[in-house]
Structure 1
Amino acid sequence: MKKALLSSLVAGVFTLPLVNSAVAAEQETGASPERPNILFIMSDDHAVQALSAYGHPISKLAPTPNLDRIAANGAKFQRSYVTNSLCGPSRAAMLTGKFGHENGFTYNGQIFDGTQFNWPNALQDSGYATAMIGKWHINRIPNGFNFEHWEILNDQGEYYNPDFITADGVKMEMGYTTDLITDKTLAWLDKGRDKSKPFALLMHHKAPHRNWMPAPRHTQLFEDVEFPLPDNFFDGYEGRVAASKQTMTIANHTQDGHDIKMTVAEGEGEWRKDIWPHLLARLTDEQRAEWDNAYQARNDYMNANEANWSEKQMAEWKYQRYMQDYLATIVAVDESVGEVLDYLEESGLSDNTLVVYTSDQGFFLGEHGFYDKRFMYEESFSTPLVMQLPGVIKPGTVVNELVQNIDYAPTFIQLAGLETPADIHGKSLLPLLSGQGHSGWRDALYYHYYEFPGFHDVARHYGVSDGRFKLIHFYNPDDQWEFYDLEADPSEMVNAIDDPRYKEEVGRLIHRLAQLQDEYGVPPLKEWRDEPLDRHPNPSLEELFPHSFK
């Protein structure tokens, strides 16, 4: 049934009534429906460079064997991108299949309308058991979403002893957050769901989001590893005005305590400047002692030598500490994915479960000297994406077409045998996953970042990329254009907007950009280029669940 189902889906002739008829016919014969389960695993800020299936030199020093299992068993997307490299807007795009100007969520701090069309609700309405476990980060709670079960972190969540929110209230739970999310996921899969239904489970990790606090078992994992410094770590940003004005360099803008875990003096465990001290304060006395012991020798070495180091040496030391901790948090995520994959295989669920792993965006690992994301530059714009579904996706499949996170919703909708709403911007990935290709697949991607002023002072900008050439318009606070030949300049160091050799390509992309903005219904720039950010603070947990704070 599965191969027949896929072929009819790809052909575009499989609609909901046909699915229902097929299910009814199988139930009459005592067979089980073949609509696949969907396990959507997402991490926060996982760079493509840090997933070893993609072969980057960094990931070879910090491999991700379990994430690589998904790529080996199924498909790896070589050119996967986001619509807006920022947590909340990216999540909204994934859930709705639409760009932010249509789903109403363009920057963090807005209120997301969960009653609009979204794929978890659509699948639940069609008979799926649905659950959301981990980092939600759109509104305080999943308003408008009809998950049968949800356990979510409070806002960004904490790495140690986090607060989990459920429909019943708020509870602090002891342990390492990645492990707790894994345990809750396995518990729901094993005993919490209605096993007469297919399931759609969203498992969202906090890691590797800032401030990169590894699990106790991993705090010293990479302390003796020297990670290669990107060639453009000391970028001077010539010809790139927006890049020169950001505040997201490892050397100058990470918090010494909060991010880099630098201590005030030799023999001391107290962190230096810490903008969110409540995170370290959550550790128990035993956890804190273990933490201090893991970092003490390295911090003492830094404190003893800091006065004699040049700015360059200190920047390089901060880079190594950043990488050691960032990559160590990913090791726990990889272990988590391995546990879940093992459970699916041992329980007989693997053969009929689509497993997806992605991140809400990419991340800079020292390229241009940066950490964080936001820019349309490749490290931030791209995101890892691997999928497996035995019998549907051939092992070792490599997808080279340009895909975007708006494509997830129509893929899951079509795989469940439902009709995709006509106003969705994304495209179903099933033709690419089946190996049949798609002659009408997109030839260019649209991107738009809105959050200025905001964290890291990255200018508002939009742009277009066809995979070879990229055109970006920074429009607030400055009006600047950038153009890159990604084949000749993959690190995006030379803004070739005025290079006469690219005059025709620039003109072509300006035209293609206008076409995409028209296709997606983007409002004219003059209507919103200077519009102030209208943030709406979420209600506090005390307001939502007063009984939890008595």
Structure 2
Amino acid sequence: MFRILLWSVLAISAFACAKPEEQKPPNIVIIISDDHTRQAISAYGSTIAKTPNIDRIAQEGVLFTNAYVTNSICGPSRAVLLTGKYSHKNGFKRNSDSKFESDQDQFVKHLQAAGYQTAWIGKYHLGEDPQGFDHYEILPGQGFYYNPDFIVKGEGKVNREGYVSDLVEDAAENWLDNRDMDKPFAVVIGHKATHRTWLPDFQDLDRFEEVNYPLPDNFYDDYAGRQAAMEQDMTIDKTMIMAYDLKMYPDDSKDNNIVRMTPEQRAIFDAHYKPIHEELNALDLKGKELVEWKYQRYMRDYLATAESMDRNIGRTLDYLEAHGLDENTIVIYLSDQGFYMGEHGWFDKRFMYEESFSTPMMMRYPGVVEPGTKSDALVMNLDIAPTLLEAAQVKVPEDMQGASMLPVLTGKDKEGRKVLYYHYYEVGEHSVSPHFGIRMGQYKIIRFYNQVEGWELFDLEKDPKEMKNVYGEEAYAKVQEEMKVKLLETIKKYEDPDAEKIFHQKLESPVIEKK
């Protein structure tokens, strides 16, 4: 009896003194789409789209209702994601003439050093020499929707038959199947969808043909008081191209999206679009009727293109669950920026106006984030790199300009950032003038330069659709001065010398004070 009692005491003591098992570092899956917007995601209350699989991430984690980007354009946004630094710091300001120096510091390199196995699969759009990844299979440049090429690490360029969203997911699952199972992993899955020219998967071509989408109430915006908006070239009316964008091709089309199809694929494609083209010719539409016809075609193709992506995001989530990975894997979904779905009569992005400046972002983090959480905190794509390093218990480099979102995720910080800083640099593309600015509280101030020189100020509480520029109005004189002071302070904080120089320049044609 004594011996039994002694062994019991020793066993209890040993259990009490044993160290608790260290929590394994979380796996990381980042899913980044292209030009997908909150207005087309049902988790954000969209009335024009249903995205059940993207919604799953929000339902099982947190939906960020105030997520934004630093520079609303494809490549620069991805550079910010990887570096945690603004465009003027990471060197990739513009798609048109910037080169991403992949040998610079990136969060994935720190994860690698900490024992993570890393990969980028799909659209990369930062050149063809990714660093910080044990494996990559990337689309050259923009890539193609049908039968795309991939650049595979160690193999070079390979061509694959099929639809791009399916092929990207296939490659991601193949890498997950063959990775080193003893290491935590971090994989970025880069979808081409929903980038222009919105080419749906064949099974989705007819999906929304019977749907008529309501025009946004500012579709026929006259841009009064907003010179930069007036001078842009990104309207559905004047900019959207019948053949290139809406697939109203002549029979001898040489479009690379089309000629790369197999005969069988082309037959399915033509069976869908040719009757639409014939009907258009018969209708002989003009004026607003033609503009609104183009809008409907745009919406149907865009949302059908999103359908396949959402389906494949569901495959990613199902894979994690089927392989017992869901309980210790962070999953983030975001787009490289927002996009216009006819607001102001536009498609595309670039502007610091809300539809483009904002981005969908949601995050599943089991054990940290309560399922079904909504956060109104101000966060940016800039913040993802430090967040993931902190979650992996890896030291965040001091020169990263983003801020970890973990205090927001754990409820310690309800507001997030106090100020959002933005700087867009592209010159000439869609005639959108370069500009920088901040959003703080209910106000947003923007300084346009280069093509258009001028200031804009918006009261988002009274004017959420940004139709009225109140810069120069006497009633907003105090707000205007406070916002300019805060803008200069923020420019200095993020060490943006070009913006600081422009900020101090006097306008050649100063804004006339409104009384």
Query: Which residue does the alignment assign to 1:37?
Result: 27
The whole-number CA distance in structure 1 between the counterparts of 2:89 and 2:20 is 44
- How far has the Cα of 1:499 moved from its partner? 2.0
- How far has the Cα of 1:117 moved from its partner? 1.3
Verify the 8 A CA contact 1:130 1:199 in the aligned structure 2: yes
- How far has the Cα of 1:435 moved from its partner? 2.1
Query: Which residue does the alignment assign to 2:331?
Result: 355
The whole-number CA distance in structure 2 between the counterparts of 1:523 and 1:204 is 32
The whole-number CA distance in structure 1 between the counterparts of 2:201 and 2:20 is 47
Query: Which residue does the alignment assign to 2:464?
Result: 490
- How far has the Cα of 1:296 moved from its partner? 2.5
31-40 or 471-480, which deviates more: 31-40
295-304 or 422-431, which deviates more: 295-304
The CA RMSD over aligned residues, in Å, is: 1.7
The whole-number CA distance in structure 2 between the counterparts of 1:520 and 1:36 is 30
Query: Which residue does the alignment assign to 1:536?
Result: none
1:373-427: CA deviation from partner (whole Å, max 9, x where unpaired)? 0000100000000110111110111111111111000001101101111111111
Query: Which residue does the alignment assign to 2:344?
Result: 368
The whole-number CA distance in structure 1 between the counterparts of 2:414 and 2:196 is 38
**Which TM-score applies when normalising by structure 1?**
0.86
- How far has the Cα of 1:57 moved from its partner? 2.1
When residues 369 and 270 of structure 1 are mapped into structure 2, their CA distance, relative to the original with a 3 A threshold, is farther
1:416-495 to 2 correspondences below 5 Å: 416-437=392-413, 441-453=416-428, 455-495=429-469
When residues 30 and 390 of structure 1 are mapped into structure 2, their CA distance, relative to the original with a 3 A threshold, is closer
- How far has the Cα of 1:526 moved from its partner? 7.2
2:110 maps to 1:122: yes
Query: Which residue does the alignment assign to 1:72?
Result: 59
- How far has the Cα of 1:528 moved from its partner? 7.5
Verify the 8 A CA contact 1:402 1:467 in the aligned structure 2: no
The whole-number CA distance in structure 2 between the counterparts of 1:302 and 1:195 is 55
When residues 525 and 349 of structure 1 are mapped into structure 2, their CA distance, relative to the original with a 3 A threshold, is closer
Equivalent residue letter for 1:457: S
| Unpaired stretches in structure 1, ≥5 consecutive residues | 1-27, 530-550
1:117-144: CA deviation from partner (whole Å, max 9, x where unpaired)? 11111101110010110001002331xx
The whole-number CA distance in structure 2 between the counterparts of 1:244 and 1:141 is 39
Query: Which residue does the alignment assign to 2:156?
Result: 169
- How far has the Cα of 1:116 moved from its partner? 1.5
Matched length: 484
| Corresponding residue SS for 2:449 | strand
| Corresponding residue SS for 1:252 | coil
| Corresponding residue SS for 1:253 | coil
Verify the 8 A CA contact 2:445 2:458 in the aligned structure 1: yes
Equivalent residue letter for 1:136: Y
| Corresponding residue SS for 1:356 | strand
Q: Which has the larger radius of gyration?
A: 2
Query: Which residue does the alignment assign to 1:319?
Result: 295
The whole-number CA distance in structure 2 between the counterparts of 1:107 and 1:501 is 37
Query: Which residue does the alignment assign to 2:276?
Result: 298
Equivalent residue letter for 2:264: E
When residues 243 and 325 of structure 1 are mapped into structure 2, their CA distance, relative to the original with a 3 A threshold, is same
2:320 maps to 1:344: yes
115-124 or 195-204, which deviates more: 115-124
Query: Which residue does the alignment assign to 1:56?
Result: 46
Equivalent residue letter for 1:139: G
| Unpaired stretches in structure 2, ≥5 consecutive residues | 1-17, 504-515
- How far has the Cα of 1:279 moved from its partner? 1.4
The whole-number CA distance in structure 1 between the counterparts of 2:323 and 2:357 is 37
Query: Which residue does the alignment assign to 2:372?
Result: 396
Query: Which residue does the alignment assign to 1:412?
Result: 388
1:184-214: CA deviation from partner (whole Å, max 9, x where unpaired)? 1111112x21010000000000000011000
2:494 maps to 1:516: no
Equivalent residue letter for 2:61: G
When residues 528 and 175 of structure 1 are mapped into structure 2, their CA distance, relative to the original with a 3 A threshold, is farther
Equivalent residue letter for 1:397: T
1:203-260: CA deviation from partner (whole Å, max 9, x where unpaired)? 0000000110000000110011011111111111111111111111111101211101
Equivalent residue letter for 2:425: Y
When residues 528 and 487 of structure 1 are mapped into structure 2, their CA distance, relative to the original with a 3 A threshold, is closer
- How far has the Cα of 1:281 moved from its partner? 0.9
Query: Which residue does the alignment assign to 2:231?
Result: 245
Query: Which residue does the alignment assign to 1:184?
Result: 171
166-175 or 346-355, which deviates more: 166-175
| Corresponding residue SS for 1:116 | coil
| Corresponding residue SS for 1:251 | coil
